[in-house]
């Protein structure tokens, strides 16, 4: 293998791909990234056996070849070099890296030892605008569980209901659902949250479309020159829609920024009580208030103007409420609940694509 690439392109690709390399795994090869020439381009690849990311960059290839090298060293070294052209040349298992003023050798390992995720031969494919996909996944990912004892809840569930594709996540204390696009397929994919984190990072500011291809075991996301493939979580996702109330006794429409501000202030006094805050909707006063008490520090009540039908109070986790409010985009938010013991719901009154359910705390 002998080729030339620009430092800028190589450093950027290593930054995107290198994070997947697993330095704590039992297989030493997983802490490496693979470099190989494909169709007169340089392909940079990394995997942890559950997720694999590949990016191809433009290069001037003289001879073909492949090698794997330590991911951390390669990434830190290339990012430290000045901009310009870099020459890469393979001498058996030694990768020679040369610029105008730097000459280095990194000892590598044969590419034959590098695990490659199997290709998706037959699958279902669809495309979306990458930024819409990123926004939707970011909105639901916050509700995914980190408890490995319930693996089905540690992913984002992509599925079709009545001709519409939805993304949903829940940890059983909160639930987020976002409508994505119309779909004629009968999709049902449970994607690990770790892969969704990487996908959001990979999409970045890309204005491209993203192509998604899936079979029963894997799903492939491709945008521009970057491919991310991940194994799917096995198991049946719970019938989460049973948790979503159809009617509400109390509906408060409030400015989202005001709601965020009073929640933040109240959360400061809720640290002793595991984030417990009590939200009261008062239709006569036309305001929503949040009260929190810290036995050692004091107490706080913050209010915001709201349009309210019904009335009452409910106790929630302040962090969950803040996460939901910050995931939304509209100027106003509709906060709905049925007394103290049933789930509350947040949504944009002008855009019904996204809903967020939060279970109450015992007050």
% pLDDT > 70, the chain = 99
Give the tokens for residue 53. 């990311």
Residues 6 or more apart from 156 whose CB is under 8 A from it?
A: 137, 140, 141, 144, 167, 168, 169, 190, 191, 193, 196
Q: What is the mean pLDDT of residues 59-82?
A: 95
Q: pLDDT class for 272, splitting at 50, 70, 90?
A: confident
**Does position 170 have pLDDT exceeding 70, yes or no?**
yes
Q: For 111, phi and psi rounded to 5 degrees?
A: -65, -25
pLDDT at 302: 95
Q: CA-CA distances (angstroms) from residue 81 to 77, 78, 91, 95, 277? A: 7, 5, 22, 16, 51
pLDDT at 363: 61
Nearest alpha-carbon partner for 1 in 45, 49, 67, 97: 67
What are the structural domains, with CATH classification, of the chain?
2-113 (3.10.150.10), 124-242 (3.10.150.10), 245-358 (3.10.150.10)
- Residue 320 CB neighbour total at 10 angstroms: 21
- Distance, in Å, from the CA atom of 65 to the CA atom of 75, rounded to the nearest integer, reads 20
- The CA dihedral of 106, 112, 118, 122, to the nearest 10 degrees, is 110
Give the tokens for residue 41. 């381009």
DSSP string, 127-180: EEEHHHHHHHHHHHHTT----TTSGGGGEEEEEEETTEEEEEEE-SSEEEEEEE
Q: pLDDT class for 118, splitting at 50, 70, 90?
A: confident
Q: pLDDT class for 243, splitting at 50, 70, 90?
A: confident
301: β partners: 291
Give the tokens for residue 112. 């034959």
3-state helix, strand, coil in the chain (%, to 5): 25, 45, 30
């Amino acid at each position: 293998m002998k080729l030339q690439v620009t430092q800028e392109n190589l450093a950027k690709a290593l930054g995107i791909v290198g994070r997947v390399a697993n330095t704590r795994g039992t297989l030493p090869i997983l802490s490496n990234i693979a470099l190989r020439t494909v169709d007169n381009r340089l392909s940079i690849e990394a995997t942890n056996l559950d997720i694999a990311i590949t990016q191809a960059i433009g290069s001037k290839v003289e001879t073909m070849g492949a090698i794997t090298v330590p991911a951390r060293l390669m990434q830190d070294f290339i990012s430290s070099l000045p901009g310009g052209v870099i020459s890469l040349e393979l001498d058996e298992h030694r990768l020679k890296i040369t610029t105008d003023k730097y000459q280095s050798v990194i000892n590598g390992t044969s590419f034959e030892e590098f695990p490659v995720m199997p290709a998706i031969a037959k699958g279902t494919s669809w495309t979306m605008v990458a930024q819409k996909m990123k926004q939707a996944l970011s909105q639901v990912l916050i509700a995914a569980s980190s408890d490995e004892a319930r693996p089905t809840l540690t992913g984002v569930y992509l599925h079709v209901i009545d001709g519409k594709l939805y993304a949903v996540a829940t940890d059983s204390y909160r639930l987020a659902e976002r409508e994505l696009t119309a779909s004629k397929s009968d999709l049902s994919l449970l994607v690990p949250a770790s892969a969704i984190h990487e996908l959001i990072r990979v999409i970045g500011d890309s204005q491209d479309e993203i192509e998604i291809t899936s079979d029963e075991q894997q799903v492939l996301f491709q945008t521009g020159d970057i491919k991310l493939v991940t194994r799917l979580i096995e198991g049946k996702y719970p019938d989460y829609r049973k948790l979503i109330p159809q009617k509400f006794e109390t509906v408060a429409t409030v400015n989202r920024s005001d709601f965020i501000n009073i929640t933040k202030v109240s959360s400061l006094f809720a640290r002793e009580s595991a984030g417990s805050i009590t939200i009261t909707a008062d239709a006569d006063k036309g305001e929503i208030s949040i009260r929190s008490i810290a036995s050692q520090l004091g107490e706080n009540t913050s209010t915001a103007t709201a349009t309210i039908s019904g009335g009452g109070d409910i106790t929630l986790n302040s962090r969950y409420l803040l996460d939901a409010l910050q995931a939304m985009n509209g100027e106003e938010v509709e906060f709905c609940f049925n007394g103290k013991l049933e789930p509350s719901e947040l949504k944009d009154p002008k855009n019904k694509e996204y809903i967020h359910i939060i279970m109450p705390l015992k007050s």
